[in-house]
Structure 1
Amino acid sequence: MKVLEVEDLKVHFRSPDGLVKAVDGVSFDLNDSEILALVGESGCGKTVTVLTIMGLVKSPPAIVEGKILYKSNELTKFSKEEYRKMRGRKISMIFQEPMSSFDPLYTVGEQMIEVVKTHLQYDEKKAKELCIEMLKKVQIPLAEKRFDEYPHQMSGGMLQRIMIAMALITNPDILIADEPTTALDVTIQAQVLNLFKELQRNYKTSVIFITHDLGIVAEIAERVHVMYAGKIVERAEVGKLFSQPKHPYTKGLLESRVKREYKGKFLPYISGNVPRPTDFPSGCRFHTRCPRAMEICKSKEPKEIEIDGTKVACWLYGEGEPE
């Protein structure tokens, strides 16, 4: 069952340099209780996509087109009040920086209670009990004591766990995690990911997981969508993406991972730079960096086709001859 459907989403911003096409025709769906990963370099449109789903990108000043359907409800037609009631209750989000996501003037407990009282209408006593119970579930030691402490008294790993607790405390249908482990060291990152997977299974929440770390994708996701320059260029099940990548950009990302056999050698990398969103090249947006670019790539945008269960937008699987 689909809990979320995004159809031809476009999010553009006006700037002194021209129209910034942050998201330009993105479509995908999210199934019940699955983890879907959105992967791509910084600036490819991942975060803008999910912020738009959350109703945090306003139109105007942004130009938003397309459909976002949550259980057949058209979110782009929601009023500000309707979005406020849904955000945090039905769709929750974990942001990138735990240290900057909390108000330093309020205790962790006060900020958690605000979420509970806003969305669940619990009284103070019942809300506190639920918050402490959630802190224990995310393995915060001395939960009753930590409840009354301020964010600066916590480590980054603890704050990230508390953010997960706050996002799940209302038992939402959809959880969006925007690079939730970026600011953590490797050991704490592994602990947080294991906790995240365990809680997701227990709560049966559908997850959109945003990252540029393919190691995390292999560990946590079921399906993967690869984004480049505001578009999805490949979508596949996680095992198939790693074993049989189709798009040259996906192959470049996979080859760019650090491996033991690279010791003492130059690391592989994708040549060139990500194009500016005000000046995307014609045709396939990756052709200026693609080692297998053809003449047709420079002038005609490829359509998405399905090959062996993988959907890819690339002329290598259509017409055209390599240069």
Structure 2
Amino acid sequence: MMISDKNQSSTAIFILLGFSEYPEFQTLLFLLFLVIYVVSVMGNLGMIAIIAVNPKLHTPMYFFLKHLSIVDFCYSTVVTPKLLENIVAEDRTMSISTCLTQFFFFATCAFTDTFMLAVMAYDRFVAICNPLLYMVIMSQKCCSLLMAAAYSWGVLFSLLFTFSLLTLSFCGTNIINNFVCDYSGILYNACSDKHFSELILFIFANFNMFSTLIVIISSYIFIFVTVMKMARHKAFSTCASHLTAVGVFYGTVLFLYCIPNTQSSWFTIKVGSVFYTVIIPMLNPLIYSLRNNEVKETIKKLMGKNDFSPN
């Protein structure tokens, strides 16, 4: 029986419908997503380069921002090229191994992103609530360990979810009414018992979401209390970019959690998925550059071909 299930799964194929139900908009959608992807790649690689070339930006906050840009670059690269291919290609089929591989990297980036946003909130908490000990607490070793933990968190959770999908069997042709091989879409098509995989999704997705949210909310409660006591409202402005990024990311994900999995909701789910997989990786470098004077000054100096050596 197990051999039969494996044989069925090995011959199973997946079809990503994407936005194929709107053939009249295919050219417009291709151009739109291509522009978004180019802006995302340039923005994130640009942010990495800006932080690398300016010694003044070699601080814990920008160290974390650089790694957030690396993850966002990978995030959009895992999803968007396949989305563009499916818009122009008539054959939207992919093997189960290809689908699960895309899911693994997609999930790794998503889980790493949530952990990094929590780490960046903790960094702002230490900077504002313990400024005299900031460089001691957030030492280079500590920052490296936190980033190693973020990447490990993403990989381990992604492996767990991927393994739970590998325990399932799939039969024949499977339709995913989305543009990416997401967990729910793959799980929906399984022709074996889904109880274990559904349990994994419920427990660990909620654990990841709420544990990182608790860190973020707790950090900002302490920050808010400290700022109010010290009457240093300008200190809170250093958190504005991060709060914006957190609000956009978690707002979109929580919104998708609240949508019931009905046929009428698939369009809303796809639009929401576009937002947090394609648009947010483009928005993050814009948010941090437009609201950050040090980054803007670095960009101006780069354009003016000035050096960054200290005076």
Please confirm whether the aligned pair reaches a TM-score higher than 0.5, indicating the same fold. no
TM-score (norm 2): 0.27
Choose between structure 1 and 2 for higher RCO, CA contacts under 8 A separated by at least 6 residues: 2
TM-score (norm 1): 0.27
Q: Which has the higher helix share?
A: 2
